[in-house]
Amino acid sequence: MKINKLKKQLTISLALTMIMLSLIGSLIFMYFYLNSTFLSQYDNIIMEIANIKNRTSEIEKKSLENKKYMQLWSQINESKKSMIGIKVEDMKKIIDNLAEKYSISNTTFKVSVPENYSPSVYKNETISILYTIVELTYNSYHDVKAIQFANEVMNNIHGYPIVTKFEIFKDKDYVVKDYFDISTGKIFGSIRSKLVFSWYVYKEGAPLNSSTNKTNQ
């Protein structure tokens, strides 16, 4: 066969090969491009669906919570809802008045510096929570008076006073002279009590993030 003709055939065949290779290359590129584009589009839609479902679930959850808290709202008394914060002077007045009522003597109380309670605990958004620790010690002449006093102090304090410790000790048994001395104020009653409570109160305003942020009242 003529060599020139063979060469021509070979050239045509090679040209066809090149065309075919470029077509295959284009198709492969198209395949991967379409795949990646479509898959990315698909992934975005799936992510969007997941996001919508999460938001729906959050709303449902929040709605349920809101319903629950709406029911609870009416059961929370006004004293707990008080927004006046921690006022040591007011508290002192309450203690003094009640001490007189229950013949309590030798009352001392310590209040730690109130702190802003971290909003991460209760996820409070609209109000701030303050808290402090109060330690109250006193003497009484009778155990019932000591308990009644403690009980009424707790009932008269607004917010959430949580008693963490309450101790009553009887130092000695009374003799007749003791009754006389108590009535004249020479000695205190032999029932010694110690009341420690954590006190949580509300304060108007959005919460601060730092739990260590201390406020002086």
Residues 31-70 that bind another protein (CB under 8 A): 31, 34-35, 38-39, 41-42, 45-46, 48-49, 52-53, 55-56, 59-60, 62-63, 65-70
Q: Which of 102, 138, 141, 200 binds another protein (CB under 8 A)?
A: 200
Is the CB of 48 or the CB of 96 nearer to another protein? 48
Site for another protein in 124-153 (CB under 8 A): 124-127, 129, 131, 133, 143-144, 147-148, 150-151
Judged by beta carbon, residue 121 or residue 183, the one nearer another protein is 121
Does 83 help bind another protein (rule: CB under 8 A)?
no
Instruction: Please tell me whether residue 160 binds another protein under the rule CB under 8 A.
Output: yes
- Considering beta carbons, is residue 13 or 183 the nearer one to another protein? 13
Neighbouring C-alpha atoms within 13 Å toward the C-beta of 23 = 6
Helix (H) or strand (E) holding 154: helix 143-156
Q: Taking the CA atoms of 2, 4, 6 and 9 in sequence, report the sign of the dihedral they define.
A: negative
Residue with tokens 């954590």: 198
Q: Does 84 bind another protein (CB under 8 A)?
A: no
Nearest to 136 by CA among 101, 171, 163, 100: 163
Query: Quick one: 74 or 216, whose CB is closer to another protein?
Result: 74
Binding mask 167-196 for another protein (x = CB under 8 A): xxxx--x-----------------------
The residues pairing with 162 across neighbouring beta strands, listed in sequence order, are: 198
Q: Which span (89-97, 103-111, 113-121, 179-187) binds another protein, by CB under 8 A?
A: 113-121
Residue whose C-alpha is closest to residue 136's, from 156, 152, 116, 153: 153
d(CA 78, CA 80): 5
Residues 6+ apart with CB under 8 A from 214: 113, 114, 115, 116
